[in-house]
Chains A and B, each alone.
Chain A
């Protein structure tokens, strides 16, 4: 299975600022995803990161708030913009290595907004 590296692993940020999270995979993958896990909650899909085109966002998530880049088949970034305390969550990068096999997750970025 793929190995995913996420940076940073955690951060404490001031409200109103932005944070960019990086996701690096050790092999080329077709599908990359970004999830959010709010404290004590399950995982919610933010968007699918598409290589060479705009990300596909789920209901309730917009590009202005969560811009995503996917310049190649091994790398993606998620930016959390104009942060508020409600954005305090774990943000997880995920990939699907082969069709219908299930997702592999990075260890996540624990974000606290103060």
Chain B
């Protein structure tokens, strides 16, 4: 079945540093989604991507839909303490498929 891999599994960075994480799939996707989950909360959608090569920003966050349609990355610039959380990539093969989630990247920001 479909499977997503995320790397790194966890990150510890200094406040102000840039962050990069990525996600790969075993099959071609037509939609990539990036979510952030804070403790005790449900995931919140950060960025949605719909076209191969698409580069989309949301404030300090930038995500790209890989050309091969089997990968995506998320960058966070100038990290701040409230960036702490778990970042999940998610996606689906077609508009009619369920969305599946990657295992997540845990981000810790050291003030």
Binding site for B on A (CB under 8 A): 1, 4, 33, 41-45, 48, 58, 92, 94, 99-108, 110
Q: Report the interface size for chain B: residues with CB under 8 A from the other chain.
A: 21
Residues of B at the A interface (CB closer than 8 Å) are 31, 33, 35, 40-45, 48, 50, 88, 90, 95, 98-104
Question: Does the CB pair B98–A45 fall under 8 Å?
Answer: yes
User: When the two chains form their complex, are residues A43 and B88 in contact, meaning their CB atoms are under 8 A apart?
Assistant: yes
Number of A-B contacts (CB under 8 A): 49
- Tell me, rounded to whole Å, the shortest Cβ–Cβ distance linking B28 to chain A: 15
User: In the bound complex, how far is the Cα of B92 from the Cα of A112, in angstroms?
Assistant: 31
User: A residues within 8 A CB of B100?
Assistant: 45
Shortest Cβ gap from B84 to chain A (Å):
16
Considering the complex of A and B, which 3 residue pairs feature the smallest CB-CB distances, nearest first?
Answer: A105-B42, A43-B101, A102-B48
Closest Cβ neighbor of A47 among chain B residues: B98
Contacts of B102 in A (CB 8 A): 42
